[in-house]
Structure 1
Amino acid sequence: MEEKMIKQYLSYALGAFGHDAFYATLNTYFAIFVTSALFVGKGAAAEAGIVTTMVVVIRLIEIAFDPMIGGMVDNTNTKVGKFKPWILAGAIVSSVGIILMFSSLFGLADSNTSIYFLVFGIVFVIMDIFYSFKDIAFWSMLPALSVDSKTRNKFGTIGRFGSTLGSQGVIIVVTPLVVYFSQMFSGSHGDTQTRAGWLGFAIVIGAVSFLGALATYFGTKEQTSLIRENTEQTRFRDVFKVIGENDQLMWLAFSYLLFALSYVVTNSLLIYYFRYVIGNAGAYSLVGVITAILGILSVPLFPTIVAKITRKGVYIGGICMMLIGYVLFMFAGTNTIMMYIADAIFFFPYPMIFLAALMTITDSVEYGQYKNGTRNESVTLSVRPLIDKLAGAFSTGIVVIAAVHSGMTGDAKPSDITAHGMFIFHSFIFYMPMILLIVAALIYQFKITLSEKKHAEIVRELEKKLETEKAEAK
């Protein structure tokens, strides 16, 4: 039994590794590709603005359909379960989509930008829809792997361990891979980054995402239980009602949105800081090494720490630690060592905060079942991917706005950035995210009551109620 569980933990972790490598590439590095390599010369800023505006608008529209996608996943019934078909199909289509996104779409970006924008919009819509199916199915599988909070914590922890290595690993390899493929395909020299280099990088990420999905598909298994059997077909008109009536889910979603947005914006703009403030883009790769090591240390500590101070302590205490990191960021200036120290303090609690939020959302499945009488796994868990995509969509637009208005585009050098431009940049990378984090912590402190103890009580009540109903039915 233990050997089978280890296989499942490993398979889920590998899926999370590929999944978050994809997520980091899409939400952090696509904007950099657009502003630095896809469009060059006169009108480049305007064209980059059009592409990023399309991304933001499409994602905001598509996000409204995520709960419906969750409903479709909930209503799926196959021999391999309801999650795996969507994980595999989503991986195939989204991997092809991200490769196309990191290209000029067969030269259309140069020869006919109008047609490029049209084709790009179609490619992005298809990619984002299938990515949504994969994202929702992958993370909403968590409550189906076990109804026990401790086992869920293990799956969530090992899953987050894999996703942390995936997302932070991208930071390590992005510059070396782009430079390597630039030299291989474009014959460039030094650290020059070309379109072909970015395309080679995207192909690697697409392959990693697909292979991770295969590992989860073949290596995990849904568990059956009396509680999970208490599931009805979810009508599309009811999916938003399911979410709206779950007050703990709604408050957690609001808090987590502010937290995720602050983190993604700062994390996405760090590469600009190293390139345009410090003047050493190559030094950015070490950020990935540092955060990957910290992730290896941070994630496994979650079960121990959460057992001592609860999820609320992890969530709020972690945010306080991130705020200390922001203070150090602001005093770092062009000191690279100081930036590394600040980033270490800023990043270390992030995986644990994510897990605290994920476990609370997962437990809200039983909370909603107890409160409303029906169980909705994928609809409930669709909220977390929805929030991450919402944060990613907003951050893509924010990053481009920050880069353009700060003067950090194209071949600009640190000496070209004005004092006003630097103030704008600091406002986006430090000041605004700090405010969002503080509000996120206050919401969790005063509005979230679904503790581990409360969830255990709910599970016991549900089991007692369902066993009584089953006995009476006989």
Structure 2
Amino acid sequence: MVKQYLSYALGAFGHDAFYATLNTYFAIFVTSALFVGKGSAAEAGIVTTMVVVIRLIEIAFDPMIGGMVDNTDTKIGKFKPWLLAGAIVSSVGLILMFSSLFGLADSNKSVYFLVFGIVFVIMDIFYSFKDISFWSMLPALSVDTKVRNRFGTVGRFGSTLGSQGVIIVIMPLVIYFSQKFSGTHGSTETRAGWLGFAIVIGVVSLLGALATFFGTKETKNLIRNDTERTRFRDVFKVIGENDQLMWLGLSYLLFALSYVVTNSLLIYYFQYVIGNAKAYSVIGGVTAVLGIISVPLFPIIVSKITRRGVYVGGICMMLVGYVLFNFAGSSAIMMYIADAIFFFPYPMIFLAALMTITDSVEYGQWKNGTRNESVTLSVRPLIDKLAGAFSTGIVVIAAVHSGMTGNAQPSDITAHGMFIFHSFIFYMPMVLLVISALIYQFKVTLSEKKHAEIVKELESKLRTRKAKKIEAKVEN
């Protein structure tokens, strides 16, 4: 089991390093390096609008992708073929996105936009296959909630280090490759620097997927064997009829959107409010250390106060962090303290949501009579993609309307621009978090105790059915 835990953690490390790069830093690359000078705001707006629109359209296909994964039957399981193919294509796609597409961004912008759209669609489809197959492996690794908690915990441990590690290395890597390939000095960022950074992340993502591919194994049991092929016309029905999945999904969407928007705009805060972009790297170190502490605490804390206590209580702690953010001003130290309080519960809230979604596989099987692992688990990646798409658009809108684009300096930001920026980075996310907590508190009833009762009832029902079939064969 140790090998499986480690392999799953390594896969999550590379996967979330990829996710953070795509959803947090691509918008920054577009506004600070890809398009600069006259007309750059409009050009950046076109690219980010394309990303948002394409993702919103493609999101409708995620449950179908989950259905394709569910219907896959190979010697190496139903998840691993998609995991490997998705990792290879999406890594290449990420590298192409962090480039000028062979100079088209300068020589022919119309063609660049067309080619970019094609590259992004292909990358995003294969990323969805990878994302859905990776996280929907959880219910296939075990039906025991405690074992799932361990896999979820080590997975989140790896993903936390992956996503927060990007914060630590992004500026040093971008600056290093800028100096290496463009001959710059100091902290100047170039396209080549961003491309070098993207190549590193693409390789890390692929290596993590290979670790999971070779190091994990699906389990076989009575409950998992009670599976029928999912027709594409039924995939949305499967999700829609699972009321606990729907309520949890709404709550998690608001939570994820608030976190991603704030996290994405923090680098702007350090650059344009504090006036020291390099100080942002410390955030990654702080959150990585806190992730190492926070994630292993999840099984202990959840056994004491349940997932509901972790989810709602964690959001309350994040709100305290937001209050401190608002009093930080230009103090980097205060920002570090506020971000520590803001981030600490985040991995545990994610795990509480992930475990609830995972348990809703058996809930749907118990309620509707069919088991759908990948279709059900596709909801979490779908929501993260939706939050990422919206956040990309929000980040660009916030940057443009606050005046934080191109070669702007902290002294160029007006009081009105600063108010707009604070509204996007702090005020709006706080409202979303409150609504998220209220939905989970009053609408999500699938507790650990309820899930254990459902598993016990399913096992009893399936044993009885199996015994009757054997008895019928004997009589015949």
TM-score bin (small chain)? over 0.9
Aligned to 1:62: 58
CA distance in 2, matches of 1:406, 1:45: 12
Task: Give the 5 Å matches for 1:447-466.
Answer: 447-466=443-462
Superposition pairs of residues 42-441 of structure 1, within 5 angstroms: 42-441=38-437
CA distance in structure 1 between the aligned counterparts of 2:60 and 2:389, rounded to whole angstroms: 13
Cα shift at 1:41 = 1.3
- For 1:116 and 1:395, locate their aligned partners in 2 and report how far apart those are by CA, in whole Å: 23
Q: Deviations over 1:109-134 (max 9, x none)?
A: 00000000000000000000000000
Secondary structure, counterpart of 2:464 in structure 1: helix
CA distance in 1, matches of 2:41, 2:385: 24
Q: Check if 1:39 corresponds to 2:28.
A: no
Q: Secondary structure at the match of 1:45?
A: helix
Give the aligned residue type for 1:164: T
- Matched letter for residue 196 of structure 1: A
Amino acid in the other structure paired with 1:130: F
Letter in 2 for 1:440: S
Partner letter of residue 211 of structure 2? Answer: A
| Structure 1 unaligned regions, length at least 5 | none
- Aligned equivalents of 1:184 and 1:63: distance in 2? 38
Question: What CA distance in whole angstroms lies between the structure 2 residues aligned with 1:333 and 1:164?
Answer: 27
SS at match of 1:86: helix
> Quick one: distance in 1 between partners of 2:34 and 2:443?
45
Q: Give the stretch that moved more between structures: 267-276 or 409-418.
A: 409-418
Partner letter of residue 208 of structure 2?
G
One-letter amino acid of the structure 2 residue matched with residue 95 of structure 1? S
Cα deviation digits, residues 62-99 of structure 1 (max 9, x gap):
00000000000000000000000000000000000000
Q: Which amino acid aligns with 1:220?
A: T
The alignment partner of 2:327 has SS state of: helix
- AA in 2 matched with 1:138: F
Q: In structure 1, give the amino acid aligned to 2:251.
A: S
- Which deviations, in whole Å up to 9, do the C-alpha atoms of 1:262-284 show, x marking residues without a partner? 00000000000000000000000
The one-letter amino acid of 2:67's match is: G
Q: Which amino acid aligns with 1:143?
A: P
Superposed CA offset, 1:19-70 (max 9, x none): 0000000000000000000011111110000000000000000000000000
Corresponding residue number in structure 1 for 2:473 = none
Q: Distance in 2 between matches of 1:40 and 1:429?
A: 23
User: What is aligned with 1:10?
Assistant: 6
Distance in 1 (alpha carbons) for counterparts of 2:385 and 2:126: 13
The residue type paired with residue 238 of structure 1 is D
Runs of 4+ in 1 over 3 A off after TM superposition: none
One-letter identity of the residue aligned with 1:333: G
Q: Deviations over 1:326-355 (max 9, x none)?
A: 000000000110000000000000000000
* CA distance in structure 1 between the aligned counterparts of 2:119 and 2:70, rounded to whole angstroms: 26
- Write out per-residue CA displacement over residues 216-266 of structure 1, whole angstroms, 9 at most, x where no aligned residue: 000000000000000000000000000000000000000000000000000
Instruction: Measure the CA separation in 1 of the matches of 2:40 and 2:84.
Output: 37
CA distance in 2, matches of 1:412, 1:322: 31
Distance 1:250 1:358 in 2: 13
Structure 2 CA distance for aligned equivalents of residues 39 and 443 of structure 1 = 41
> Partners of 2:108 and 2:82 in 1: how far apart?
35
Q: Helix, strand or coil for the counterpart of 1:213? A: helix
How big is each residue's C-alpha offset from its partner over 1:391-442, in whole Å with a ceiling of 9 and x where there is no partner? 0000000000000000000111111100000000000000000000000000
TM-score (norm 1): 0.99
* Displacement after TM superposition at 1:385 (Å): 0.1
Residue 184 of structure 1, CA deviation:
0.3
Q: Distance in 1 between matches of 2:255 and 2:152?
A: 19
SS at match of 1:79: coil
Task: Measure, in 2, the Cα distance between the counterparts of 1:91 and 1:324.
Answer: 38
TM-aligned CA deviation for residue 319 of structure 1: 0.1
Secondary structure in 1 matching 2:417: helix
Q: Structure 2 regions of 5+ residues with no counterpart?
A: 471-476
1:349-388 CA distance string (max 9 Å, x none): 0000000000000000000000000100000000000000
SS of equivalent residue, structure 2 residue 162: helix
Give the Cα–Cα distance (whole angstroms) in 2 for the partners of residues 188 and 143 of structure 1: 49
The match for 2:474 is: none
Percentage identity across aligned positions? 87
How does the TM-score come out when normalised to structure 2?
A: 0.99
1:332 partner SS? coil
**Does residue 20 of the first structure (1) align with residue 13 of the second (2)?**
no
How many Å separate the matches in 1 of 2:209 and 2:154? 15
Q: How far is the alpha carbon of 1:297 from its aligned partner?
A: 0.2
The Cα of 1:16 is off from its aligned counterpart by 0.1
CA RMSD of aligned residues (A): 0.3
Determine the C-alpha separation between the residues in 2 that align with 1:40 and 1:445: 46
